[in-house]
Structure 1
């Protein structure tokens, strides 16, 4: 790998989306000073938060992130896991009291289909005080290791939902590792249990060769024939060709997930390093890469297709500015949904 390729990979890894991995069921006990005056000044000036609500916004950023899980697999299998969770654990947890306080049972995410995603504010300290909660915790660990449950942040589950996947869609996941969103895409392809082998497929790409093995692991546990993992720089991912009636045609994708490397300043509730290391230069350095990846994405989008661009950053330089530049370059060929 040449010097420029190594630098490109280093830049993409530096801002990788950290939302796929969940902070866990309760954080550690080390007290961290959650302050960054430059961050506060910058976002006050941006005016993203309604007037009079900025202090409330900052307090919310200092709160621990609720732990979330997503039940993985195809519909029939996922329903069995959900039934087990409800009947064996959630029902008893609702009646549980610790130190005179009633424990709030895990709650489903109202916007996620079929109650397949749940969140809880239970800390490790509370879990250790109850044999029932400890048993529940061990069940989650076991099911996560076997691939039946993914510990995935709620916000990470949103982009695949917005793609509105159908079984015949050809899908490109441009910056896919570690692969929780890729797994969602595969599951959506198989949403119709009457179709054992969907026409569509997912091509999952990542610039980091080692992280591609995580993608392979995610795909393997779903036993789907509809996934291919590739290892390219997303900003110049090659065009593929397919055989169609004896001739070679360029492959255009019906759906593209463009979840680009970012500064990650929207992850402050779990990523403590952001409080200490955030500067305005983080986003400025990534904007060009993000735009190049987005441009390469729309170049491979089929007519009438949909691309979802996402980051875990609050910064308009990484979000609105990228989309504005992309629309300007497209000269009317693409429209925001």
Structure 2
């Protein structure tokens, strides 16, 4: 699996040192591990996690299949309280190894009842960086299929117990522009029924302002609308997740077709939409609130360039340093310069926009 355009473009961006490039490509070609998160209320999650750790993992230790040792599941080191796991076994092992087949059946059952969420490790990160608390008003702007939404909803319900559910004072609005995908959101959220969840179907880049009463006042039935409206103000959010549509070239390990079709134009074409969604989020954020912007792309045009343009357009906002939030997480700082291309064949001859413009003199 190779793509010359991909290698040429990303080597020019200096996204990592030259001596790590071969290792990076090999990682992209390696199978993606299976990862899951122990979900539900904190108390329930801790009990189930102890069951996995003390019962299932010891039972899977020392398994040999067709002459080869198979490693048991391991906890993801950076996830809080060790509530996320990963294992890397083939479907053949899951089907034919008695020990792993039993564990797989356990995972399927617990997933169906909402105690486990099958979720990729990187997908777990954005909600963690939001640090949602039960009183927060939260907006997930591009929420489908809903694994991050479920994670946010669990954070709102952090005070739930094994035997009772809480009524969080906060709110979560999960939005998606595709009406069919909103059904996936509802299906995902059904595993944790909550009075604090609302699902909407709007274009995130022009998400409408939501008006709420300024005071708890009951108006007479014949009160004019314009009078009632004066008692309203726009709902602003404490936390907003912008997991925006993207080219997805960070998902090559599971979407092998990207190796054949990748082009820098994929990211270029989405930059404008991504920026508009982020700017809309910034306008709906309460003072002192937080936005997490995320993609599943490694393209700086879809990441750093969007953030830079948004901050330039709204200078009252600032970046937050979250490098110490998950101490065990291995990460790399974002880059501060990049070389865009407006050509499918990856012509990178113009370090700046001005240099490009000079080749197209006005007539």
What TM-score results when the alignment is normalised by the length of structure 1? 0.87
Partner of 1:286: 270
Report runs of 4+ in structure 1 exceeding 4 Å deviation. Answer: none
Query: Any gaps of 5 or more consecutive residues in structure 1?
Result: 1-33
Q: Is the 8 A contact 2:76 2:84 kept in 1?
A: yes
Matched residue SS, 1:336: coil
Partner of 2:233: 249
The Cα of 1:205 is off from its aligned counterpart by 0.3
Matched residue SS, 1:177: coil
What are the equivalent positions in structure 2 for 1:1-337 lying under 5 Å apart? Answer: 34-193=1-160, 196-245=166-215, 246=217, 247-330=231-314, 332-337=315-320
The Cα of 1:82 is off from its aligned counterpart by 1.8
The Cα of 1:100 is off from its aligned counterpart by 4.0
Query: Any gaps of 5 or more consecutive residues in structure 2?
Result: 218-230, 321-363
Matched residue SS, 2:232: strand
Matched residue SS, 1:70: strand
CA deviation digits over 1:122-142, x for unaligned, max 9? Answer: 111233341111111122222
Matched residue SS, 1:295: helix
When Rg is computed on C-alpha atoms for both structures, the one with the higher figure is: 2
The Cα of 1:154 is off from its aligned counterpart by 0.2
CA deviation digits over 1:289-333, x for unaligned, max 9? Answer: 000100000000000000000000000000000000000100x21
State the distance in 2 between where 1:235 and 1:128 align: 44
Q: State the number of aligned residues.
A: 303
State the distance in 2 between where 1:323 and 1:44 align: 22
What TM-score results when the alignment is normalised by the length of structure 2? 0.81
State the distance in 2 between where 1:114 and 1:53 align: 31
CA deviation digits over 1:190-225, x for unaligned, max 9? Answer: 112478211111000000001101111112210111
